[in-house]
Structure 1
Amino acid sequence: MSIGMIGKKIGMTQLFNNSGLAIPVTLLQIGPCTITQIKDHVNYSKVQIGYNLLNPNKSNKPMIGHFAKNNLPCFKYLKEYKIIDKKNLHVGDIIKINNFKEDEFIDISGISIGKGFSGYQKRHKFSRGPMSHGSKNHREPGSIGAGTTPGRVFPGKRMAGRMGYQNTTIKKLRIIKIDYINNVLAIKGSVPGKKGNIIYIKKS
């Protein structure tokens, strides 16, 4: 069953392997998630899962009706995954991290850390100008286009602007350790976002 799950980022630490080498890991608290909807199509199905119980008073009427149709509690976060075989999947089933194993590879998606309005050097790794006394181009962006023709700046020109806070996916991250009791995964390397951010995982 290759359905994904929802969780949150706890933080980073390090673990030591049998050789004594320190491995940087990110701790993720995954699930438990509940199947809230299954939609059948011709050659595939779409399974919607919910995460993080929510007080119905803090939800809106359409979402309350959506959950009440299947006698389910309200969830704060929803995610839909496309699968080929929905065998043994039913609305109301609770999904835990028992489907994942150590040394498996997963893909993790999340919102990257926002860094505000940044200049072109920090945002696009441009080189600076000469730092000598006579230079007037220390951190200037330089020319951004021709004059009369075309007489405008082409869309997509790499310039200063908002940096970060984008949906980012990192593929093939290895699972180092799994705590099945507390639903915690230890992933080798870094994961998009800051502590407490919602992340989405699925098998690579």
Structure 2
Amino acid sequence: MSGIIGKKIGMTTIFNNGAAVPCTVIEAGPCVVTQVRTEETDGYNAIQLGFGEKKEKRTTKALLGHFKKANTTPKRKLVEFKEFEKEFALGDTIKVEDVFVEGEFVDVSGNTKGKGFQGVVKRHGFGGVGQSTHGQHNRLRAPGSIGACSYPARVFKGLRMAGRMGNTKVTIQNLQVLKLFPEKNLIIVSGSVPGGKNGIVTLHK
């Protein structure tokens, strides 16, 4: 199997040869195989995994039927994984020890924390217009000029301006698996991963 779905628990520190190593605790799995895609029916081979519980009243009837085929309860997150070593059947349960071993390196994907609508100083690191002297009284965090006048008479696309910041998908590569706790479905990886606590992440080999 090439990956698994998990939930970020938080960050902590473990000691390795006397050095303090910052790491992230992730509750990875157990995941249920909710669909098996094949070359004959779908044009490609993949396995769809479901993670996290979801209330039936907040699940559409189409998805309720989809989960009923796998003989499982409604799941919060569905993700497809294309590379896998062995065959899996509908309804199989995949745990963290079935995918990863201690010492190997993984990639972790997730949505970053949303910051809302932010100005150019926070979003792009602008310095503001001038200083607090020479008549400047309300321009400390302003973006400054955004274009010329009669030519080109427009603002170029891609100009760094204020706008929504964060809440984008980010992948952190080559995080080492420091420790596994199979009985609690926990995996500890080095460094930080995207998102806040209880955020959904996917781990790939």
TM-score (norm. length: structure 1)? 0.89
Q: Which runs of 5+ in 1 are unaligned?
A: none
Aligned to 1:48: 48
Aligned to 2:80, the other structure's residue is in SS state strand
Question: How many residue pairs end up in the alignment?
Answer: 200
> Residue 63 of structure 1: SS of its match in structure 2?
helix
Q: Deviations over 1:56-94 (max 9, x none)?
A: 3331100011122333322121111223x5632211111
The question of whether the paired residues in 1 share the 8 Å contact of 2:116 and 2:164 is answered with yes
SS at match of 1:181: helix
1:53 is matched by which residue type in structure 2? E
Residue 148 of structure 1 is matched in structure 2 by 150
Give me the whole-angstrom Cα distance separating, in 2, the residues matched to 1:41 and 1:128. 56
Contact 2:54 2:74 in 1 (8 A): yes
Structure 1 CA distance for aligned equivalents of residues 45 and 68 of structure 2: 22
Deviation at 1:150, TM superposition (A): 2.4
SS across alignment from 1:116? strand
Identity rate, percent? 44
Amino acid in the other structure paired with 1:193: G
Find the aligned partners of 1:152 and 1:40 in 2 and give their Cα distance: 51
Query: Which residue of structure 2 lines up, in the alignment, with residue 21 of structure 1?
Result: 19
Partner of 2:190: 188
**Cα deviation per residue 1:103-154 (whole Å; 9 max; x = unaligned)?**
2111111111111221112111223443251163532212111222222212
Residues 33 and 91 in structure 2, CA contact (< 8 A), matched pair in contact too: yes
Show the counterpart of 2:88.
89
Whether the 8 Å CA contact 2:30–2:51 is kept in 1: the answer is yes
Q: Hey, what does 2:114 align to over in structure 1?
A: 114
* Matched AA of 2:22: P
Aligned partners of 1:150 and 1:123: how far apart in 2? 26
Runs ≥4 residues deviating over 4 A: none
Normalising by structure 2, we get a TM-score of 0.89
Distance 1:74 1:116 in 2: 31
What does 1:59-98 correspond to in 2, within 5 Å? 59-83=59-83, 87-98=86-97
